[in-house]
């Protein structure tokens, strides 16, 4: 349409490559990498300790999800598996936690850690979070930790989360959002990979969750972040860490109330 401004964001393939390259390299490190957004205490569990070496989250969705014995949990963008291993302890052997990540090196590393430490109630699957390799209506809880901001199509991610949840299922995501004072070049692929350029304003982020069909959408935690000055980080001035919860409502037949 004439008069429209040209897009100021890179194409989807470029974004995916930048993200894959950054986190593929991170997966091959062996140093503790604490998140600049949410300092993660050093875990005592050996598997979680290994996974924490490549942790880059910005919240604690596992703690906010009130997980129960026997539940099925899907972690979108599971990375090295820290949140998966933490959740597996809470759902027990009768439950299942599936981590989904688009970076092969992260999936391989997480699988290695799970095998090494004898986790039988976890799986790690390679896949994009806009196209989750999980059956519809199969999960009790969907979590995500500082990953959805990296997705070129965030609306598709929330629709997928809604699709895979059972009626009454819960969504708990921690992520970065953009404040009004955020100054960033949306064409900067490094800024995309560092969780800055892809961050949306809170109102837009929440609107996408509601548009996917979720109800009871609540921002339960919010923490402004600053640059720490120690090289590339996921947080910057004008970036805030939030945790948002929501539910997949039921219709009268007890099935998810889908959007037309």
* pLDDT band, residue 92 (cuts 50/70/90): very high
| 233 pLDDT above the threshold of 50 | no
With 70 as the cut, is the pLDDT of residue 260 above it? Answer: no
- Between 190 and 68, the more confident residue is 68
pLDDT at 205 (0 to 100): 96
Please give the C-alpha separations between residue 99 and each of 13, 78, 111, 219, in angstroms, as whole numbers.
23, 5, 10, 24
Residue-level pLDDT at 28: 81
Structure tokens at 186: 């949306």
130-177 pLDDT, tens digit per residue, is: 999 999 999 999 999 999 988 889 999 999 999 999 999 999 999 998
Number of H helices, E strands in the chain: 8, 8
Q: What is the pLDDT of residues 14-49, one digit of tens each?
A: 878 878 778 888 788 765 444 444 455 667 788 888
Please give the average per-residue pLDDT across 111-138, as a whole number: 96
pLDDT of residue 208: 98
pLDDT number for residue 227: 43
- Please name the residues in contact with 150: beta carbons below 8 A apart, sequence gap of 6 or more: 15, 19, 77, 192, 193, 195, 198
Considering the segment(s) 12-247 as one domain, its CATH architecture is 3-Layer(aba) Sandwich (3.40)
Question: Strand locations in the chain, DSSP E?
Answer: 72-76, 96-101, 122-126, 139-145, 165-178, 200-201, 215-225, 239-247
Chain-centroid distance, C-alpha 92: 22
pLDDT, average across residues 204-220: 97
12, 38, 101, 106 from 126: Cα distances, Å = 18, 26, 5, 9
The pLDDT of residue 225 is 66
Select, from the ranges 38-47, 89-98, 244-253, the one with the highest average predicted confidence (pLDDT). 89-98
**Mean pLDDT over each residue of the chain, to the nearest integer:** 84
The pLDDT, as a whole number, for residue 65 is: 97
- Confidence (pTM): 0.85
33-37-42 Cα angle (round to 5): 45
* The pLDDT of residue 144: 97
pLDDT (average), residues 109-122: 96
Output 20 or 200, whichever has higher pLDDT.
200
Return the pLDDT at 7: 45
């Amino acid at each position: 349409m004439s008069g429209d401004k040209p897009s100021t964001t890179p194409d989807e393939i470029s974004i995916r490559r930048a993200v894959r390259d950054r986190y593929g390299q991170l997966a091959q490190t062996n140093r503790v990498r604490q998140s600049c957004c949410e300092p993660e205490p050093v875990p005592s569990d050996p598997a979680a300790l290994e996974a924490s070496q490549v942790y880059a989250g910005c919240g604690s969705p596992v703690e906010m999800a009130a997980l129960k014995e026997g539940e099925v949990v899907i972690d979108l963008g599971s990375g090295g598996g820290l949140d998966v291993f933490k959740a597996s302890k809470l759902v027990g052997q009768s439950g299942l936690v599936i981590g989904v990540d688009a970076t092969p090196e992260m999936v391989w590393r997480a699988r290695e850690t799970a095998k090494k430490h004898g986790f039988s109630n976890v799986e790690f699957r390679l896949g994009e979070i806009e196209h989750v390799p999980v059956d519809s209506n199969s999960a009790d809880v969907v979590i995500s930790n500082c990953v959805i901001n990296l997705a070129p199509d965030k609306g598709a991610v929330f629709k997928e989360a809604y699709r895979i949840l059972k009626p009454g299922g819960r969504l708990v995501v921690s992520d970065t959002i953009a404040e009004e004072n955020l100054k960033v070049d949306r064409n900067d692929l490094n800024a995309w990979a560092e969780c800055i350029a892809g961050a949306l304003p809170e109102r837009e982020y929440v609107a996408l969750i509601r548009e996917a069909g979720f109800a009871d959408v609540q921002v339960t935690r919010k923490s402004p972040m600053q640059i720490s000055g120690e090289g590339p980080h996921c947080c910057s001035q004008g970036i805030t860490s939030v945790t948002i919860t929501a539910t997949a409502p039921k219709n009268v037949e007890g099935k998810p109330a889908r959007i037309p």
